[in-house]
Chains A and B, each alone.
Chain A
């Protein structure tokens, strides 16, 4: 329910992070990512951040060279998801300090931890940066 998948894709179309909340085979995923990314990358600034694809919507936002795409059900509140993307970015920013694409590439597991704290089974469960980052900070301290 709610969120189907979250993708972080760069301008060249390479997927940097992918989290799926429904089962799709590897082939399907690749095909899906290809299609969606093509659609989103072709859009310009003036156009709205929502794209309809098959029976769900993609809410996307562009941060420098990275595109954040979230696929949601038709009934989901789109602006809330848009802001959720921003929350995600801010959280990563707080942890990594001025996060960029390289940070995500090199610390992919941390990015996944963060995301998993925030979204569970397609529902947003935690929105406080402190709560999200505390387990990760603990891990960092312990290692």
Chain B
């Protein structure tokens, strides 16, 4: 391939470049050698050196070849060689500075084509801050230009920029211009402007942007309305400064563009209202206001009916809100609605009836009349409801229990976001930008999704254009399934093994770290004594406080026993390392020979961000540990993943300590946690046959390679249990190697940089009469290893902490040495019963 790029003829070169682009988009590793060639080609073109007349287009040397070359360069993640990098930057700089607006349309277009591709390349390289700011300045100029093409491209590239870098503040300066573009006569520009606004929305400007969108919605054409309403709903949900504003926005949305508001949207509102008690009165009031209007959309009727049914009793004292009035107002709408709404209205009437205790006879008769009318309705659902409600309502006071208020909803991933993700992209060529974004492993907050996706929804057609800031690794790591008791006591967590995330579909899924903005209003309380418990999976998409709040003592106590957790993690590879009311630190580890990869999951359980987060590793001398960058702030309800690489250098029992500190409100918490990168993690179980074992055993004759010790103070346990324990520590028990049934032989391979793969052999001789002592012989090819391993096993046997029950699922089917209970020795039998 590299040879093909040496071609002099530009026609052939253009074709080879096309080939290169297709190849590199799939696998850039193999084509590193082509990188400097590409840069040379680009240089040649940019300097206009020996470009034949034929390939010069209005004075620009083969713009298509330039564009293709830059596209190819975008697939390489970085450029190692400083010389190449410098020359590339020179070229790019020249392009950025040198492109001017000229009279000739074609020349203009061609030079700008090259310019925009150069912009994309600069964004991808993301190395020089200066160049980036130049780019943004240029783009800012472009979106205000008269020429519509340039405006369009300016907006599009700005949206792309959001994906790759964080230039949000600079882009916000142009917000006014972008909002003007939203009202541009050209629909393509309007679409781009909407995408850009959607992408650049965050807590500070969310209100303005959503309000603009809503305003625009009334005058928008039908093609756009659906997209507009969905985007407005998502933005409102993500960035709502407070929930009542959110409810307002959605109600407005339904009012203005009811046809385009899917059911998911109002289901979501209902979820929020149900889960937040303070919101209920407000929502009911607003619903009441909207119902007063003469002509309202059916979705509005549904929503209002539901809310009023559930919560109108909260309004009962206010003027115009007595149950009778509410019933009459809703009943006015009755003739106008379709069959799908009637069941909801019937339920609402039943609930209203229930709330009026003692029952008002006139109201009761009216409602019963309605029920009566529908008792013979054709639609089965309606008929059933009418009959049942009528029968139930005759029960009188008992009705209150039957029609009790709806319980809170568990948190679920927003169905809206899922819809936004459903794009129809089926591009064969993978975009360089999407690829890069997918591989980006920056310390961005990652969405933690619940394992139950929302009920399936039909994809919305026009949403293929949604481009969201994306790192598409949504990790399904809900380590907890909490159960909050209704009085708000703190939860009891059952650790669940995290399921590995399906790596998101590159082409379809553009969704990544949703900026998880909590409620700055609610969170800005000076005393950090309001803590929300975890409910269901901690779902970052439902960033708004759905969980109940409860009191918390001022000292930050860790939940659970840290030592116990550490010991559990020494045997298991994943679980929670540390937890307190504000943060949960989980670990997931993978071990291969002497390398280990741990991922620390730092989960913020709160609605306020955790600040000044610092984690230092104090490594012992025998481990080389690399911790990637931990962010200084963890956004609310977010989980940050920090990978850790560990390399085992020498055998040792020392433990690495993670010095973790963070600030919550005025509290500084600084737990020091032992990392479960312990000796047994670097062991690989291996079964040896007698032919392999005995020669090895004999060749390792004595100290220091073979050490023998009588260990006392052993925790008494039957041999079966000891075998299980060994297996869980990755020491494979080899049956049949020792004829004596009271003895046990195990083998394992230890990996480290110094010893490489080293076979270790262990023999345990127990005394059935006295289970508190045994004789242990350990042999391996490295004296330090023998010693450390011996001490390690001793530690495990002598002072085994609480989780000493051999974790049966972890170990391979334990092959117990012929069960001691088979012998007739009474001591054995007794020991076996222990």
Residues of A within 8 A of B (CB): 1-2, 43, 46-52, 54-55, 73-75, 77-80, 82-84, 86-87, 120, 123-131
Contact = CB atoms under 8 A, between A and B. Distances in A.
B428 interface: yes
Contacts of A126: 11, 14-15
Given A80-B63, A129-B54, 13 more contacts: A1-B21, A47-B185, A52-B191, A55-B425, A55-B426, A75-B432, A77-B67, A78-B149, A83-B57, A86-B109, A124-B18, A125-B18, A128-B11
A50 B188 contact: yes
B57 A123 contact: no
Given A75-B431, A77-B116, A77-B117, A83 B110 contact: yes
B550 interface: no
Contact of B188 (A51, A87, A130): A51
Contacts of B54: 128-131
Contact of B15 (A49, A75, A125): A125
Contacts of A129: 54
Contacts of B110: 79-80, 83
A86 B104 CA distance: 13
B22 interface: yes
Nearest to A121: B18
A84 B64 contact: yes
Contacts of A47: 148, 185-186, 188
Contacts of B153: 78-79
Given A47-B185, A55-B464, A131 B11 contact: yes
A130 B56 CA distance: 12
A75 B55 contact: no
A77 B432 CA distance: 13
B149 A82 contact: yes
B41 to A, nearest CB: 14
A85 B151 CA distance: 20
A127 B109 contact: no
Interface in B108-161: 109-110, 112-113, 116-117, 148-149, 151-153
B109 A124 contact: no
A84 to B, nearest CB: 7
Nearest to B117: A77
Contact of B185 (A46, A51, A127): A46
B259 to A, nearest CB: 22
A86 B68 CA distance: 18
Given A55-B464, A79-B116, A127 B428 contact: no
Contacts of B67: 77, 80
Given A2-B429, A124-B14, A129-B54, A55 B188 contact: no
Contacts of B11: 125-128, 131
Interface string B13-40: 0110010011000000000000000000
Contacts of A127: 10-11, 14, 55, 57, 62, 64-65
Closest 9 A-B residue pairs measured CB to CB? A79-B113, A48-B148, A123-B18, A128-B54, A1-B429, A80-B113, A47-B186, A75-B431, A125-B15
Contacts of A131: 11, 54
Interface string B370-400: 0000000000000000000000000000000
B458 to A, nearest CB: 16
Interface in B62-116: 62-65, 67-68, 71, 106, 109-110, 112-113, 116
A101 B295 CA distance: 54
Given A55-B464, A127-B11, A83 B63 contact: yes
B507 to A, nearest CB: 10
Contact of B109 (A55, A82, A125, A128): A82
A130 B11 CA distance: 11
16 contacts: A1-B429, A43-B186, A46-B148, A46-B186, A47-B148, A47-B188, A49-B148, A50-B149, A52-B465, A55-B464, A80-B64, A80-B117, A83-B106, A83-B109, A84-B64, A120-B15
Contact of A52 (B57, B117, B188, B423): B188
B70 to A, nearest CB: 9
Contacts of A77: 67, 71, 113, 116-117
A43 B186 CA distance: 9
B308 interface: no
Contacts of A120: 15, 18
Please report whether the interface of chain B is mostly helix, strand, loop or mixed according to DSSP. Answer: helix
B116 A86 contact: no
Given A47-B188, A128-B55, A131-B11, A79 B423 contact: no
A125 B208 CA distance: 47
A52 B151 CA distance: 15
Contacts of A55: 423-427, 464
Contacts of B55: 127-128
B433 interface: yes
A73 B430 CA distance: 10
Nearest to A117: B11
A60 to B, nearest CB: 11
Interface centre among B14, B52, B424, B433 (most CB of A within 10 A): B14
Nearest to A2: B429
Contact of B106 (A46, A75, A86): A86
B17 to A, nearest CB: 9
Interface in B390-434: 423-429, 431-433
B305 interface: no
Nearest to B15: A125
Nearest to B426: A55
Contacts of A52: 188, 191, 465
A1 B186 contact: no
Interface in B499-529: none
B404 to A, nearest CB: 48
B189 interface: yes
B112 to A, nearest CB: 5
A46 B465 CA distance: 23
A120 B71 CA distance: 18
Contacts of B189: 48
A77 B54 CA distance: 22
B91 to A, nearest CB: 17
B186 A48 contact: yes
A52 B186 CA distance: 12
A52 B192 CA distance: 10
A20 to B, nearest CB: 14
Given A80-B63, A82-B109, A125-B15, A74 B425 contact: yes
B349 to A, nearest CB: 45
A80 B109 CA distance: 8
A54 B464 contact: yes
A73 B429 contact: yes
A2 B72 CA distance: 13
B64 A124 contact: yes
Contact of A125 (B14, B57, B423, B432): B14
A46 B65 CA distance: 30
B460 to A, nearest CB: 13
A33 to B, nearest CB: 19
Interface string B319-361: 0000000000000000000000000000000000000000000
A86 B57 CA distance: 10
Interface string B182-195: 00011011010000
Interface string B167-195: 00000000000000000011011010000
Contacts of B191: 52
Contacts of B63: 80, 83
Contacts of A83: 57, 63-64, 106, 109-110, 113
A48 B465 contact: no
Contacts of B148: 46-49
B193 to A, nearest CB: 12
Contacts of A130: 54
A1 B54 CA distance: 26
A127 B67 CA distance: 13
